[in-house]
Amino acid sequence: MAEQHFPYGVYSIHVRPLELQGARWDAEYEIRQLNHAVQVWTTVGGDAGYGSETEAIDAARQQAVADIEHGAGIPKPRTFP
């Protein structure tokens, strides 16, 4: 399966599956805003991976949403004294 894109507010979540040995899957995701990465590619799945490509993609999308909601990788607004 090719890279997939999921819009989330002003962000775009890009997810691509990674095939492991033994019919297991990981996936990696990147969070972008206006085609600029605000969080670089991050892998989910670990040593055991997921049982299906779809499951891995969904897990990566959910983790990216959680990262956005908690501000991970998102630049903080500048404050001035």
pTM, rounded to two decimals: 0.83
Query: Domain for residue 80, yes or no?
Result: no
**pLDDT at site 47:** 81
Tally of domains within the chain: 1
Query: Domain for residue 78, yes or no?
Result: no
Of 9, 31, 18, 10, give the one whose Cα is nearest residue 57: 18
CA angle 5, 7, 20 (to 5 degrees): 35
Query: Domain for residue 77, yes or no?
Result: no
**pLDDT at site 34:** 86
Of 8, 1, 3, 4, give the one whose Cα is nearest residue 69: 8
Query: Domain for residue 25, yes or no?
Result: yes
Structural domain including 13 reads 4-70
Model confidence pLDDT, tens digit, residues 3-35 = 999 999 889 999 999 999 888 999 999 999 888
Name the average pLDDT for the chain.
88
